[in-house]
Amino acid sequence: MKRNLLITAVALVFGLTLYLSAVAANSPDQGPGTRQGRAGAHPLLRLVRENMAAQTIAGLTNQPVDTIRKQLEEQHLPGVLSQYQIDRKAFADGMRTRFQSLLGQLSNDGYLTADQKNQILAQAEQRFQRRALMKGLIDKGVSDGTITPDQADTLKKRQ
């Protein structure tokens, strides 16, 4: 039983890490659920990710969480962020804080060891830094004319 919970917790953390990476890179609007079928994500991961996003937006806008959840069901995340004029960096920082808090709770409850938690945080930070570096390089390439905006869009899209 504990092993199943540990596997679920690790899968949850991995899914959230992927989500944070996508948000940090300002990925194009892919819509809710597009990764779900491809990655075989468990419904628990999807719900936790959606709830974390709703809680983060609610915290940034002082709106009720249920209102934000309903809006996220009706439209894509980038649409809700632009509706409330939320900076993607502020959203990413809020999600990162919630992600770290969740890891702390999983560690405190014994689902993750301290070493596992630190390893996951290190991997998430490395992905975040890599995406930020790539975005900066792509933007610089467009601004100095080395690559076209279409080529930049190709590089920014997640495979």
Q: pLDDT by residue (tens digit) across 53-64?
A: 999 999 999 999
Measured CA to CA in angstroms, residue 71 lies from 28, 114, 118 at distances of 19, 36, 34
% of the chain surpassing 70 pLDDT:
73
% of the chain surpassing 90 pLDDT:
56
d(CA 47, CA 44): 5
- In the predicted structure, residue 101 carries a pLDDT above the cut 60: yes
Which of 89, 101, 2 is CA-nearest to residue 48? 101
d(CA 143, CA 137): 10
Mean pLDDT taken over the chain: 82
Q: What is the pLDDT of residue 153?
A: 86
**What radius of gyration, in Å, describes the C-alpha atoms of the chain?**
17
Q: What is the pLDDT of residue 42?
A: 80
pLDDT tier for residue 31 given thresholds of 50, 70 and 90: very low
Q: What is the pLDDT of residue 54?
A: 95
CB 15 within 8 A of CB 45: yes
Question: Stretch 147-154: mean pLDDT, rounded?
Answer: 90
Q: Which is higher by pLDDT, 88 or 32?
A: 88
CB 124 within 8 A of CB 98: no
- In the predicted structure, residue 111 carries a pLDDT above the cut 80: yes
Q: Which is higher by pLDDT, 42 or 144?
A: 144
Domain residue ranges of the chain, discontinuous segments joined by +: 2-122
**Amino acid sitting at position 60:** L
